Amino acid sequence: VEDLAEGNITLKVFRFDPNVDKNPRYVEYSIPKWRDMKVLEALVYIYENYEPIAFRYGCRSMLCGVCTLTINGEPRLACATDVEDGMLIEPLKGFPIIKDLVVDYEKNLRKLREIKPFLAADIEPVKVKVSKEAIDKCLTYSYCIACSACLSACPSAQGYGEKFIGPFFFYFLCRYVFDPRDKVDRLRQAFSEGLYRCLSCYRCEEVCPYEIPVNEVAIDELRSRCYERGMSVDYVKEFVKMVDTEGFINSSKLFLKVKGLKMLKDLSWMKNVVVKRKFTSPFKRYGALPIPRILKAGGK
Amino acid sequence: VKYAYYPGCAAKGSCTELDLSVKAVAEKLGISLIELDKAPCCGGREVRAVDPFKSIVLNGSILALAEREGLDVMTVCSTCYLTICQANQEMHKDPNLLSRVNEKLAEVNLYYNGGTRVKHLLHVIVEDYGLKALSGKVRFPLLGRRIGVFYGCHLLRPRRVLASERETETLQLERLVSVLGGTPIDNIAHSTCCGFPLVLVDEVLALHILSDYLTKMKEVKVECIVTTCPLCHIALDMYQPKAQRISKLRFEIPILHVSQLIGIALGVDPDELGVNKHVVSTKSFMDKIFR
């Protein structure tokens, strides 16, 4: 280790013991840094040489997914993140804190128990023939380590009321859509877990340690299959219909179609929006090329 | 410099002031725009999710119309930018897909060779026109005012698609605001969503996401927020009164389109920029600049 030494660095670490502390505090630790040192190694160094801070880790090699922390404001795996001078180390945002950097994943475990992300078959699975294509497809949904980085970064999952189960759960569900042995209606499950509350903001992909394009491979995939089965929300149905019939979105018409009489519930807001001419005429036509119509005529 | 201007649905609907200000600023800077008035909706992420091929044909037609003019496409919406770029890349990678798209486009007498490049107004100003040239035209510098920058997710993410489109894709809005004389506030500019995609799906959830962002911007005392995306503008401006009500906080933060902010600094008549067409009044900010 001495051969690889690169001088000293200082880290700012979140500390909080609910049994003792009234409020969280941040403690600075000066530690020696060596080449390729990871945040996890730095935490182990602090634990062994300063004081016993609480944090979780397991495999040290990006597989177990339990060392996820908020590092400089972003959810990252401690075992895979190069440590830098001045780094701010905090517990994973969006979860209740048990102590220091350890958070409570009970919410995740409860959801996992609910959605049953395992092969649900009432027959002996071995009797069903699984094609090579199905196996390949299922394998594309096998890279998530459930580290919860995407959940922490997802505005919808962290938003009000837990109406959106969160990115990696949809990835798990999608895997069983392609497994012919699975007997649970995974599309209905996805739909009722808030599939259409994904913002397509791509934060999940941005923070995923494996850069899994969760939105594209899981959420869009589930949405297109749900849509074909008529499981959609008014907004998407009307949006697609308007593109199909008019080639362009008339935003006030879309708003009226989706909200209907509900818009009368907020008259003062509506008045302001109308006065500021935020609504153009719902009868306005745009003269766009009839692309969806030619598609319909020729089939997909 | 000349571009095929693709305004998109929002700039022709709920954000007509964007269309107005883009044209006024382009004229002031000597950038000529040929508007693609026959171009259809890009389909957004909505059509993309439920029918990817339809999305690619829609965007193929936009690219083909621009190619016919021999021009690059200029969008003014982050979502249009991502959606058109993505379709363009997919057609480049897969000649078979391009020919399937062309079979469809033939029915409306279009053909796409694959030669159109896609730019957002921000790229046109920063990369093509140049910030140095722009700084020479600033007549009313923004006096160091604290301006929150907001890109909209789809000008930044997913990097898998967007990284290959630009050489220097980050911090362009921050640099632009500095050149116009403002102080860019970018504490969470790269990691936040405005909540727009949910305003017609789950308004309460959308308003919580929106008020989270506005609260953070209020804490860092921004005097206005500038955005590159009209969909973000709809959320941040039109839905701000609702976000105030749900969070019981008073924000009153004016939201400007990037074209409006440039126009203000260049001395374009505010009426031509449509700054009076916002739900949240821009008067306090305008008074600070022109006092």
Q: Which ipTM did the prediction report?
A: 0.95
pLDDT of residue A1: 59
Answer for the pair B20, B33: CB distance below 8 angstroms, yes or no.
no
CB atoms within 10 A of CB A113: 9
Sheet holding B183-185, edge to edge: B183-185, B146-150, B224-227, B255-257
A54-68, A265-279, B198-212: range with lowest mean pLDDT: A265-279
Cite the DSSP H helix spans in A26-102.
39-49
| Mean pLDDT, rounded, for B144-171 | 89
Burial group, residue B164, by CB count within 10 angstroms (0-12, 13-18, 19+): exposed
Q: What is the mean pLDDT of residues B200-227?
A: 96
CB within 8 Å: B49 and A219: yes
User: Which residues neighbour B35 within 8 Å (Cβ) at sequence distance 6 or greater?
Assistant: B5, B7
Residue range A162-168: average pLDDT? 91
Contact A25, A16 (CB under 8 A): yes
β-pairing, B224-227 vs B146-150, is parallel
> Is A200 within 8 Å of B45 when comparing Cβ atoms?
yes
Q: Which of A159, A205, A233 sits opposite B205 (nearest CB)?
A: A159
- Residue A297's pLDDT band (boundaries 50, 70, 90)? low
Q: How far apart are CA B235 and CA B51, in angstroms?
A: 26
Looking up tokens 């945040």, which residue turns up? A39
Rg of chain B on CA atoms, in Å: 19
**Average pLDDT rounded to a whole number, residues B284-288:** 94
> What pLDDT shows up at residue A300?
41
Strands B118-120 vs B32-35: parallel, antiparallel or unpaired:
unpaired
Position A288 scores a pLDDT of: 87
The closest of B117, B101, B190, B116 to B149, measured between CA atoms, is B190
Mean of the per-residue pLDDT values of chain A: 92
Look over chain B and give the mean of its residue pLDDT values, rounded to a whole number: 95
pLDDT of residue A129: 84
| The pLDDT value given to residue A265 | 85
Q: Do residues B282 and B276 lie in contact, with contact meaning Cβ atoms separated by under 8 Å?
A: yes
Higher-confidence residue of B29 and A289: namely B29
Identify which of A211, A251, A294 has the shortest CB distance to residue B10: A251
The whole-number pLDDT of residue A298 equals: 52
Lowest mean pLDDT among A94-98, A204-208, A262-266, B265-269: A262-266
Q: With 70 as the cut, is the pLDDT of residue B132 above it?
A: yes
Residue A264 carries which DSSP code? G
Give residue A299's pLDDT.
44
Give the SS3 label for residue A213: coil
pLDDT band, residue A287 (cuts 50/70/90) = confident
According to the model, what pLDDT value does residue A295 have?
Answer: 81
Task: Tell me the C-alpha distance between B35 and A294, whole Å.
Answer: 23
pLDDT tier at A284, thresholds 50, 70, 90: confident
* pLDDT, mean of residues B23-41: 97
Contact between residue B181 and residue B144 where contact means Cβ atoms under 8 Å apart: yes
Query: What is the distance between the alpha carbons of residues B32 and A51, in angstroms, rounded to a whole number?
Result: 65
pLDDT of the residue at A205: 97
Task: Give the pLDDT of residue A2.
Answer: 62
Chain A hits for B47, Cβ within 8 Å = 239-240, 243
DSSP symbols for chain B: -EEEEE-HHHHHTTTHHHHHHHHHHHHHHT-EEEE-TT-----HHHHHHH-HHHHHHHHHHHHHHHHHHT--EEES-HHHHHHHHHHHHHHHH-HHHHHHHHHHHGGGT----S---EEEHHHIIIIIIIHHHHHTT-SS--TT-EEEEE--GGGT--HHHHTTT-SS-SSHHHHHHHHTT-EEE-TTTTT----GGGTTT-HHHHHHHHHHHHHHHHHTT-SEEEES-HHHHIIIIITHHHHHHHHT------EEEHHHHHHHHHT--HHHHTGGG-SS--HHHHHHHH-
Is the pLDDT confidence value at A127 over 80? no
- Given a cut of 90, whether residue B189 has pLDDT beyond it is no
Note if the bond before B158 is cis, omega within 30 degrees: yes
Residue type, B117: R
DSSP A279: S
| Residue A109 pLDDT class (50, 70, 90 cuts) | very high
Residue B168 confidence (pLDDT): 67
What confidence score (pLDDT) does residue A123 get? 66
Q: Mean pLDDT throughout B271-275?
A: 96
What's the Rg (C-alpha) of chain A? 25
Kindly report which listed range (A269-273, B25-29, B122-126) carries the lowest average pLDDT score: A269-273
Average pLDDT score over residue span A77-100: 97
Chain A residues touching B197 at Cβ < 8 A: 198-201
- Say what the pLDDT of residue A264 is: 82
Which residues in chain B touch residue A272, judged by CB atoms under 8 angstroms apart?
Answer: 241, 279
C-alpha dihedral sign at A288, B42, B274, B203:
positive
Q: Which residues of B76-90 are buried (b: 16+ CB within 10 A; e: fewer)?
A: bbbbbbbbbbbbbbb
Contacts A–B by Cβ distance under 8 A = 180
Q: Cα(A259)–Cα(A149) distance, rounded to whole angstroms?
A: 34
| 3 state SS of A292 | helix
- B136 to chain A, closest Cα gap in Å: 34
Interval B112-121: pLDDT, tens: 999 999 999 9
User: Which of A164, A291, A293 to mutate against chain B (most B CBs within 10 Å)?
Assistant: A291
Test B201 with A197 for CB contact under 8 angstroms. yes
pLDDT at A231: 97
- C-alpha separations of A77 from A10, A28, A189, A225 in Å: 19, 20, 29, 33
